[in-house]
């Protein structure tokens, strides 16, 4: 636990009134219009610099040349079938990423839209696996103010220097008033909410706050699935004249990129319940993807008048142009009420861009205040994968499958958003008020959760699996777990995971959940990375976490014997081996065709099976769910037995096979390794603990007998007096200091199990990593580099050894916290904040990459692993079930016979070196 006196002295990152005057904060302090004290902040005038992607060195390029040629050929083959390869380093987006991201919109799993801190709507992920990065510039909020007869102000509520605007005079959006400079406007982000405060822009006597709210509510498995967001405007008139204020929301019938050019789109006005009215935008997607219907709406009351313009265009050929629409708002501040009876528009022509507008007008008295609320929803009921089945999204369980459910979504959003905020406040307030914690940590902890929305998440209603052909449910899987699956060219409907859509194994009724490894690495629920990220799901949505674990547990017991070529060495093998934990749940046919990753044969990886056992036990211990433990027990036994083939010399310690056979898939490892060996030791202990809990004491004893023997081998081969060597090989990097070498101990401590090693050795190793991997890289201001030579030079053996992995840095900090090293932990993790989130950093906020180099160049934006910051929170506030776990000795728990125990003691004494970080140590078994 964190000591109270250490962190309270830490300097605050910033004060709110450095960005917004204290008087403005006080004026906006009603209806939650004032931004919170703890939030990530930027001026709207801040420059959004272009991000710099990493480059491989010449030596690395030569080494990976054959892999590159095979990968290029594979990417072209997939493209010929209209599919995206899981990993494609050759294709670059036309719109280069920039430091402009903000809090994304909506709940989880129903498609996402991101919104930049300067107001642009971008990063469209409505279609699974597709991310349209470019902003749609017609999607804006604007304001029109009239005072008396002479004073008029009109502006888009986004800075005029935004890209994507034509410079020539035309009838499109460049004809609008882009007068906002942004130097008096600030963005405040605390996921899942964001506040934009316009402090006298464009009207010097009007204070405006826009609050963006999305239904991301921990432990609420209904509201958190909804594809909707609310925008609440708080208006304060500081002038002496009454002001008429009209707020305008405009929206293009588009899902990013050139989707609007496909034609056939229809706009339709609607009047809903409780004063909610707006426009539906029915979007006919290209490439036979399921359609999408947007709803934009505002809430009318006795003080607010809502009108709509169902259709306007961006060119002179349109019946109403963007220029004419703007002129109407400048002149009247509203549209014709008769527009509500216009009915659906004619389908637009190929190449046309049709937009809609909703206006909400009100009068604000001198020194008066007013609130205006808008809502956005997108209804895309079906999820269709390229090679597989079609499913209904989770939210359809509550709102049905009609595209018109978008109307109900915006109605409910505008009625419920205050309840959402109450739940969000109840969740966040205890952490935000914890004076022991640094401010940067509180802010980053919540904002890193952006990935659970913007990370390409898909959440389906597991009771409604839809056949593409005839809209009937798919047949049940066969009884035989060794069923040979059809060739991938066949349209097989047999699920590898083995669920029957009629009687799906969804005991908690939360559906099925997928999230991408990253937007550049297109694989669902990549398991070696989920190992780091899963603390967030377990803490906030534990039923989803258990559902994912059940999916992988079923897959352990199944096989897919289709042939796959592994690109690293060009060999062929089968897609999924019985006993091996799947690398991922697939790409274009998830749950049916696993292991989209094909660089290496992951059935030979050494970390996946131990990670599975460790996550299973942690989740079992944290939730106390006995039925879960019983369900997955056969898979745990099978996964452990599978690992025996990697013990090449019969000493109960697994060995790596001289290729990158773990999550560091470019970093070769030979023999006993610190990373995989430590995970194996932890898995043996976790398997024993689970066995004891389920009444399998004989199995537990066998695991602990192997644990004690393997531990003595591990320490004898790798302990060098101050840390564990990278591996037991003879290469130059075998003595490297690996930042992640205690990953197994991290999980052991997180699960309430006894430590794997003597506490002095654990702390000595962590201190060594801190001194070298953290502090010798820019003074600790970048995170922990993966590999460091003992001479203080970064290990440049490969691309990954010289990288800083954001999620690994967070997990390292969590390990430090678990062992009472608070100063080192927060200094280590703060490096990620400084380099990624601070104004002096590289601009990776709300798109935290997998890695960056020492010069700040990124690899793989919007990546899953940084969710590991929630492992720090787990370490700071472990669940009661973990805290109250019996603290008994490992060997005592195992019921090892006296004779066996004596043999193991003698072996440990013989094989353990006498030198140590804290001088000579004696191992005492308290049995």
In contact, 569 and 69? CB cutoff 8 Å: no
Nearest to 589 by CA among 507, 709, 492: 492
Contact (CB, 8 A) for 801 and 726: no
pLDDT in tens, 262-298: 788 999 999 999 999 999 999 988 777 889 999 999 9
Question: What are 725-768's pLDDT values in tens digits?
Answer: 999 999 999 999 999 999 999 999 999 999 999 999 999 999 99
Look at residue 522 and give its three-state secondary structure.
coil
Cα(406)–Cα(434) distance, integer angstroms: 39
691: tokens are: 């066995």
Q: Which among 44, 87, 79, 18 is positioned nearest to 201, based on CA atoms? A: 44
Token pair in block for residue 841: 């950093």
What's the CATH fold of domain 33-46+100-162+170-424? Answer: Beta-galactosidase; Chain A, domain 5 (2.70.98)
Degrees, nearest 5: CA angle 750-819-767: 125
| pTM summary value | 0.91
pLDDT over 50 at 776, yes or no: yes
The more confident residue out of 693 and 901 is 693
Burial call 375-391: b when 16+ CB within 10 Å, e when fewer: bbbbbbbbbbbbbbbbb
pLDDT digits (tens, 9 = 90+) for 473-498: 333 333 333 323 333 333 333 344 44
Nearest-angstrom CA–CA distance, 378 and 409: 8
Pair 846, 457: CB distance under 8 Å: no
Q: How far is CA 577 from the centre of its chain?
A: 28
Higher pLDDT, 881 or 682: 682
Q: Residue 567 in contact with residue 626, Cβ under 8 Å?
A: no
Both structure tokens of 112: 């996402």
Q: At 920, is the pLDDT very low, low, confident or very high (cuts 50, 70, 90)?
A: very low
The confidence score (pLDDT) of residue 922 equals 29
Cα 765 from Cα 728, distance rounded (Å): 17
Per DSSP, helices labelled H in 319-392 are: 322-332
**H or E element in which residue 42 lies:** strand 40-43
Domain ranges of the chain: 33-46+100-162+170-424, 508-886
Distance between CA atoms of residues 662 and 655, nearest Å: 12
3-class DSSP assignment, residue 718? helix
Please enumerate in sequence order all residues whose Cβ is within 8 A of that of 890, keeping only pairs 6 or more positions apart, or say none. 685, 704, 707, 753, 754
Residue 481: the pLDDT is: 32
Average pLDDT over residues 456-475: 59
The 3-state DSSP class for residue 611 equals helix
Tokens of residue 173, six digits: 């959006």
pLDDT single digits (tens) 327-376: 999 999 999 999 999 999 999 888 888 999 999 999 999 999 999 999 99
Cα-based distances in Å from 909 to 714, 717, 901, 925:
13, 14, 12, 12
Percent residues over pLDDT 90 in the chain: 75
For 384-421, the pLDDT digits (tens) are 998 878 899 999 999 999 989 999 999 999 999 999 99
CATH fold of 508-886 reads Glycosyltransferase (1.50.10)
| pLDDT over 90 (residue 57) | no
| Rg, C-alpha atoms of the chain | 29
Residue burial 770-789, b: 16+ Cβ < 10 Å; e: rest: bbbbbbebbebbbbbbbbbb
Cβ–Cβ under 8 Å, residues 610 and 680? yes
How many residues comprise the chain? 927
Q: Which residues contact 174 (CB under 8 A, 6 or more apart)?
A: 165, 166, 167, 168
Name the strand (E) or helix (H) holding 409.
helix 405-432
Both structure tokens of 732: 């130059």
**Structure tokens that stand for 811 in this block:** 């997990």
Residue 832, classified by CB atoms within 10 Å of its CB into exposed (0-12), middle (13-18) or buried (19+), is buried
Rounded to the nearest integer, the mean pLDDT of the chain is 88
pLDDT band for 13, please (50, 70, 90 cuts).
Answer: low
DSSP 224: G
Q: What is the pLDDT of residues 742-753, one digit of tens each?
A: 999 999 999 999
How far apart (Å, rounded) are the C-alpha atoms in residues 230 and 223? 13
Which among 154, 146, 195 has a CA at the least distance from the CA of 175? 154
> Which pLDDT belongs to residue 662?
97
The per-residue pLDDT for range 704-717, each reduced to its tens digit, is: 999 999 999 999 99
Per mean pLDDT, which range of 44-58, 222-236, 503-517 is the poorest? 503-517
Measured CA to CA in angstroms, residue 717 lies from 77, 812, 917 at distances of: 45, 23, 16
Tokens (6 digits) for 772: 């070298």
Q: Could you give the CA distance from residue 125 to residue 129 in angstroms, rounded to a whole number?
A: 7
Residue 258 pLDDT class (50, 70, 90 cuts) = low
List Cα–Cα distances, 165 to 169, 174, 888, in angstroms: 11, 6, 66
CA triple 906-911-915, angle to 5 deg: 115
**Reduced to 3 states, what is the DSSP secondary structure of residue 353?**
coil
Dump pLDDT digits (tens) for 68-82: 999 999 999 999 988
Rounded-to-5 percentages of helix, strand, coil across the chain: 35, 20, 45
- Cβ atoms 675, 661 nearer than 8 A: no
DSSP 742-799: THHHHHHHHTTPPPSS-HHHHHHHHHHHIIIIITTTGGGSS--BSEE-TTS-B--SST
pLDDT at 886: 59
3-state secondary structure 620-683: HHHHCCHHHHHHHHHHHHHHHHHHHHHCCCCCCCCCEEEECCCCCCCCCEEECEHHHHHHHHHH
- Find tokens 């019921």 and name the residue: 895
Out of 161-165, 864-868, 900-904, pick the least confident: 900-904
Integer Cα distance of 754 and 746 in angstroms:
11
Region of residue 509 (phi > 0: left; psi between -120 and 50: alpha; otherwise: beta) = left
Give 372's contacts (C-beta < 8 A, 6+ positions apart): 232, 233, 235, 245, 247, 298, 299, 304, 360, 362
């Amino acid at each position: 636990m964190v000591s109270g006196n250490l962190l309270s002295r830490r300097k605050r990152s910033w004060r709110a009134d450095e960005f917004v005057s204290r008087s403005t904060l006080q004026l906006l302090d009603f209806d939650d219009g004032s931004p919170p004290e703890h939030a990530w902040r930027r001026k709207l005038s801040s420059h959004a610099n272009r991000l710099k992607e990493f480059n491989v060195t010449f030596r690395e390029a030569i080494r990976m040349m054959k892999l590159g040629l095979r990968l290029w050929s594979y990417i072209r083959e997939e493209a010929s079938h209209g599919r995206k390869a899981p990993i494609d380093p050759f294709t670059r987006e036309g719109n280069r990423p920039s430091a402009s991201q903000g809090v994304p919109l909506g709940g989880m799993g129903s498609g996402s839209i991101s919104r930049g801190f300067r107001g642009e709507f971008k990063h469209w992920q409505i279609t699974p696996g597709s991310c349209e990065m470019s902003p749609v510039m017609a999607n804006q909020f604007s304001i029109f103010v009239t005072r008396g007869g002479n004073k008029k102000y009109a502006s888009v509520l986004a800075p005029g220097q935004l890209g994507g605007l034509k410079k020539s005079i035309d009838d499109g959006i460049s004809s609008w008033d882009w007068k906002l400079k942004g130097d008096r406007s600030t963005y405040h982000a605390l996921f899942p909410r964001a506040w934009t405060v316009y402090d006298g822009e464009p009207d010097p006597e009007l204070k405006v706050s826009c609050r963006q709210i999305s239904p991301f509510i921990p432990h609420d498995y209904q509201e958190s699935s909804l594809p909707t967001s609310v925008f609440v405007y708080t208006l304060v008139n500081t002038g002496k004249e009454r002001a008429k204020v009209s707020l305008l929301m405009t929206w293009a019938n588009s899902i990013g990129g050139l989707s609007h050019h496909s034609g056939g789109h229809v706009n339709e006005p609607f009047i809903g319940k409780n004063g909610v009215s707006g426009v539906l935008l029915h979007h006919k997607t290209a490439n036979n993807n399921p359609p999408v219907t947007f709803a934009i709406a505002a809430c009318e009351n006795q003080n607010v008048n809502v009108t709509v313009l169902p259709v306007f265009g961006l060119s002179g050929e349109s019946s109403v142009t963007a220029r004419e629409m703007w002129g109407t708002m400048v002149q009247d501040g509203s549209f014709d009420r008769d527009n509500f009876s216009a009915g659906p528009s004619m389908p637009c022509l190929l190449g046309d861009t049709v937009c809609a507008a909703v206006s909400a007008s009100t009068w604000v008295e001198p020194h008066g205040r007013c609130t205006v609320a808008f809502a956005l929803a997108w209804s895309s009921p079906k999820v269709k994968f390229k090679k597989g089945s079609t499913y209904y999204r989770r939210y359809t369980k509550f709102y049905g499958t009609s595209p018109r459910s978008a109307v109900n979504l915006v109605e409910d959003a505008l009625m419920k958003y205050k309840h959402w905020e109450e739940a969000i406040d109840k969740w966040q307030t205890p952490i935000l008020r914890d004076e022991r914690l640094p401010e940067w940590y509180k802010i980053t902890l919540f904002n890193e959760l952006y990935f659970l929305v913007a990370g390409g998440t898909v959440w389906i209603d597991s009771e409604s699996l839809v056949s593409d052909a005839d809209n009937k449910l798919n047949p049940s899987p066969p009884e035989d777990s060794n069923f040979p699956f059809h060739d991938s060219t066949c349209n097989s409907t047999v699920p590898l995971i083995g669920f029957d859509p009629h009687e799906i194994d969804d005991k908690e009724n939360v559906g099925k959940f997928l999230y991408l490894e990253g937007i550049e690495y297109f694989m669902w629920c990549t398991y070696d990375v989920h190992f780091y990220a899963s603390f967030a799901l377990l803490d906030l949505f534990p039923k989803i976490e258990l559902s994912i674990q059940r999916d992988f547990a079923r897959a352990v017991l199944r096989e897919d014997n289709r042939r796959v070529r592994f690109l690293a060495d060009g060999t062929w093998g089968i897609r999924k081996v019985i006993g091996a934990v799947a690398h991922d749940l697939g790409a274009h046919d998830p749950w049916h065709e696993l292991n989209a990753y094909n660089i290496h044969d992951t059935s030979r990886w050494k970390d996946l099976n131990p990670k599975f056992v460790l996550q299973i036990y942690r989740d079992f211990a944290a939730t106390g769910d006995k039925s879960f433990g019983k369900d997955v027990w056969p898979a745990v036994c099978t996964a452990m037995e599978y690992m025996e083939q990697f013990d090449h010399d019969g000493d109960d310690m697994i060995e790596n096979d001289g290729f990158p056979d773990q999550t560091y898939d470019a970093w070769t490892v030979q023999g006993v390794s610190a990373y995989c060996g430590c995970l194996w030791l932890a898995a043996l202990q976790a398997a024993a603990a689970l066995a004891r809990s389920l009444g399998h004491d004989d199995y537990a004893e066998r695991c602990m007998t192997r644990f004690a023997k393997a531990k003595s081998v591990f320490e004898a081969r790798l302990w060098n007096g101050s840390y564990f060597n990278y591996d037991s090989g003879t290469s130059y990097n075998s003595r490297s200091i690996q930042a992640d070498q205690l990953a197994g101990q991290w999980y052991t401590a997180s699960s309430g199990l006894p430590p794997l090693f003597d506490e002095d050795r654990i702390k000595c190793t962590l201190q060594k990593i801190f001194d070298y991997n953290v502090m010798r890289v820019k003074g600790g201001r970048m995170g922990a580099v993966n590999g460091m030579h003992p001479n203080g030079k970064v290990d440049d053996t490969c691309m990954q050894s010289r990288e800083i992995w954001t999620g690994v840095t967070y997990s390292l900090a969590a390990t430090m916290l678990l062992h009472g090293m608070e100063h080192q932990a927060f200094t280590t993790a703060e490096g990620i904040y400084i380099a990624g989130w601070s104004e002096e950093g590289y601009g990776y906020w709300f798109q935290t990459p997998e890695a960056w180099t020492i010069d700040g160049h990124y690899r793989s934006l919007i990546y899953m692993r940084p969710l590991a910051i929630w492992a720090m929170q787990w370490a700071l506030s472990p669940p009661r079930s973990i805290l109250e776990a019996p603290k008994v000795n490992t060997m005592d728990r195992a019921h090892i016979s006296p004779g066996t125990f004596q043999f193991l003691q003698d072996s440990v004494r013989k094989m353990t070196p006498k030198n140590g970080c804290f001088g000579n140590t004696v191992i005492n078994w308290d049995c």
